[in-house]
Structure 1
Amino acid sequence: MDWQAAIKGFKSYLKLERSLSANSIMAYERDVEKLYQYTETLSAPIGPLQITLTELRAFIVWVFELGMIPTSQARIISGIKAFYKYLLTEELITKNPTELLEAPKTSRKLPDVLTLPDIEKLIAAIDLSKPEGTRNKAIIEVLFSCGLRVSELTTLKISNLYLNIDFVKVTGKGSKERLVPIGSHAKKALEIYLEQIRVHSPIKKGEEDFVFLNRRGAHLTREMIFTIIKRLANAIGYKKPIGPHTFRHSFATYLIEGGADLRAVQELLGHESITTTEIYTHLDREFLKSTIKDFHPRS
């Protein structure tokens, strides 16, 4: 089996068996293609079924010499491990060469968090005299109120809005669905957009159920959501890195700092592992210090 055939089979497996999104599949494909590129540099190129741990360790050195940071290296190794797990599952190999392959040590970067005044400034910068302004306000409010991933926002469906009971149903990673409460500000902004703006918008065939549409009547792309947020950030002179995920980080942080149960926050965010959610407990050192001061009997 050559690399092209193996990668093609891997992509089908990720789509049909793992139900991953198109973006996730592309990321895995890039990881494996990086390994393929490395094998092409060898004096005697080898196929995917002949790779051993020795070649994989040499590949990691090659990736490091390309100047990739540890987090990027770890991402690639994760993709390679998934690829060989697929080959093992399909019985194309009898031994997994990645079993003893170690990822570089990476430090967790604490996410940036928007302050409430920052969020209010961003919303205030929206031009509500334009139809897209009303839509953009609803987008910002929903991102912060529900803690959605950008893919969950762009694929949000009208048929999954249960605003009469203050919930929305979102489809997360691996096509897993979850119900998320929606706050009063977000609910009001969403209702105004749906009832006053979207109802008058042209809608392309097949896009009727998507909540957020562009001027041509198609659902918004993740790139457009980033652009909307960047423009608002520029308008208020916000200098830190910002994107849809910044609102998700802020959502989780304020819940944790307010005393929310970690398992509940895990459920709201759609995290498969509690360890992913635990990063938010390390965000605000002053908050942690005040917690000790307020609740520890010997503080």
Structure 2
Amino acid sequence: MKNTGTKLRRKPNLTYRSREHLTPKEVHRLIEAAGERGRHRLRDRTLLLLMFRHGLRAGEACLLKWDAVMFDEKTIAITRSKGSMSGMHRLQLDELEALSQLRQEQSKGYFVFSNERGEGMTTGAIAKIMRRVGELANLPLPVHPHMLRHSCGYYLAEQGLPTRDIQEYLGHKNIQHTVRYTAANPARFDRISWSNGT
């Protein structure tokens, strides 16, 4: 058979799923599932928690180092990729506790999320974790790491945060990338009421 040199193209995301984000309940199930099975339960659970809470891309999570975590100040320095704006975020109590335990478990190494050799994880490893815990959590759709970033954006919009604040939180340079979260927020239509039978 002759090789024509044509590559099989991946179908659009809509072929595989109707949405590219998870609900807060689904995120919770995913994080809980990460802590139930596997050799690195604490690491995997903390990884998914931080990716959701801070809208981290997989590559950003891979490069996150311990010097970015300021336990006393309860803050974390987020270094964004893809030309996005970096910034400082607050850490919640459950995040601080998980990170503190993880730091004790990993007595050496620079990377917060490391493999067994102490090196930073790869994006492929994070994708594998997501697939595995997505199946364990019995979610109604296939999941991938970037869905946690989208889930963060939709969650912030649902909380009523102004678009400009969501833009800065996620590090978007162009506000058009942020508008999708506020535009798709169903709370905007809560004042619409339908009478029975219409």
In the alignment, what sits opposite 1:289? 189
Shift of 1:138: 0.6
C-alpha contact (below 8 Å) 2:53/2:152 kept by paired residues: yes
Q: Which runs of no fewer than 5 residues in structure 2 stay unpaired?
A: 1-6, 194-198
Q: When the two structures are superposed, what TM-score results if normalisation uses the length of structure 1?
A: 0.55
The amino acid across from 1:237 in the alignment is: N
In the alignment, what sits opposite 1:126? 34
Matches within 5 A, 1:71-90: none
Larger Rg: 1
CA 1:220–1:68 in structure 2 vs 1: closer, same or farther (change >3 Å)? Answer: closer
1:153 aligned onto 2:54: no
C-alpha contact (below 8 Å) 1:147/1:269 kept by paired residues: yes
In the alignment, what sits opposite 1:269? 170
Q: When the two structures are superposed, what TM-score results if normalisation uses the length of structure 2?
A: 0.80
Q: Structure 2 CA distance, aligned partners of 1:187 and 1:169? A: 14
Q: Deviations over 1:180-236 (max 9, x none)?
A: 2222322222222112x212xxx6xxxx32111111221100111111111001112
Shift of 1:159: 0.7
Q: Structure 2 CA distance, aligned partners of 1:113 and 1:214? A: 27
Richer in helix (by share): 1
2:25 to 114, 117, 126: 117
Matches within 5 A, 1:67-216: 111-127=19-35, 132-173=40-81, 174=83, 176-195=85-104, 197-199=105-107, 208-216=109-117
Q: Deviations over 1:19-66 (max 9, x none)?
A: xxxxxxxxxxxxxxxxxxxxxxxxxxxxxxxxxxxxxxxxxxxxxxx9
> Over the residues paired in the alignment, what is the CA RMSD in angstroms?
2.9
Shift of 1:158: 0.7
Q: Structure 2 CA distance, aligned partners of 1:238 and 1:155? A: 28
Q: Deviations over 1:46-89 (max 9, x none)?
A: xxxxxxxxxxxxxxxxxxxx9979x8xxxxxxxxxxxxxxxxxx
* Percentage identity across paired residues of the two chains: 27
In the alignment, what sits opposite 1:78? none
1:217 to 118, 130, 138: 118
C-alpha contact (below 8 Å) 1:226/1:243 kept by paired residues: yes
Q: Deviations over 1:251-291 (max 9, x none)?
A: 1111111111111111110101111100111223x32211x
Q: Structure 2 CA distance, aligned partners of 1:249 and 1:269? A: 10
The secondary structure found in structure 1 opposite 2:53 is helix
Q: For this pair of structures, how many residues does the alignment match?
A: 183
1:234 aligned onto 2:135: yes
The secondary structure found in structure 1 opposite 2:131 is helix
Matches within 5 A, 1:6-85: none
CA 1:111–1:168 in structure 2 vs 1: closer, same or farther (change >3 Å)? Answer: farther
Q: Structure 1 CA distance, aligned partners of 2:123 and 2:9? A: 25
Q: Deviations over 1:125-154 (max 9, x none)?
A: 234576510111110111111111111111
CA 1:176–1:190 in structure 2 vs 1: closer, same or farther (change >3 Å)? Answer: same
Higher RCO, Cα 8 Å, sep 6+:
2
The secondary structure found in structure 2 opposite 1:180 is strand
